[in-house]
Amino acid sequence: MSSESPARWAAHLRRLAEPAAISGVPLGAGELDAPFRAAACGEAIDLPAEPVQAGELALWWARVDERVDVDRVISAPTDGSLLPQGLFRTIEVWTDAELSALHALWFLARARRRDDWMQRITRVRDWHLLRTQPDNATNRPWALHVFLLGGTGECVHYAETLLHNCLTLTGRPDPLSAWILLDAARGLEEAAS
């Protein structure tokens, strides 16, 4: 599928994900569960009393909570990534969080029409192409749409590997990965329109 248009990719992701994306099924997303369910699954949730202001969790909350200061969240100095790796995060945990943050930020940049955030997304995506591997994450297809929309062979290969990794164990995505794929499909459809 590497040379397919965003719309064709979106249709492909929907075919793979819709049978596994069952509303109400536990997603196993931990702290991300509530904001992810609100942003990607369209479920009604209560906002926290105080807005979350750090890490990938803040970016997911920002998709449904305008009180989050996105500029502050993404301002931490890094050598090219979106989030600092930190002292105690393994490469797998950090990559998963980093790609999740990139996934959420893309939607925020589109919704709030922030070209500066889109430029940062491009720089971060390109940094990952050079420095991380899509199998460093925990078999979740976070930011798959960001890589597909990069359009280069390297970007598409990275995205294809993210997709392959979430299908490896059972031949279909688990419920969380299915919802991630559906959210990525929405992103591809937005970009195509």
Domain spans of the chain, in order of start: 27-192
Q: What is the pLDDT of residue 169?
A: 81
Instruction: Provide long-range contacts, Cβ within 8 A and 24+ apart, for 157-162.
Output: 157/2, 158/128, 158/129, 158/134, 159/134, 160/1, 160/2, 161/133, 161/134, 161/135, 162/99, 162/134, 162/137
Q: Buried (b) or exposed (e) across 10-31, using 16+ Cβ within 10 A?
A: bebbbebbeebbeeeeebebee
pTM listed for this prediction? 0.93
Place of tokens 């939607």: 107
pLDDT at 163 > cutoff 60: yes
Q: What is the pLDDT of residues 5-39, one digit of tens each?
A: 999 999 999 999 988 777 666 677 788 888 998 99
Place of tokens 């990952």: 128
Q: What is the pLDDT of residue 91?
A: 86
Q: What is the pLDDT of residue 13?
A: 95
Name the nearest CA neighbour of 180 among 138, 151, 152: 138
pLDDT at 81 > cutoff 70: yes
Q: What is the pLDDT of residue 87?
A: 63
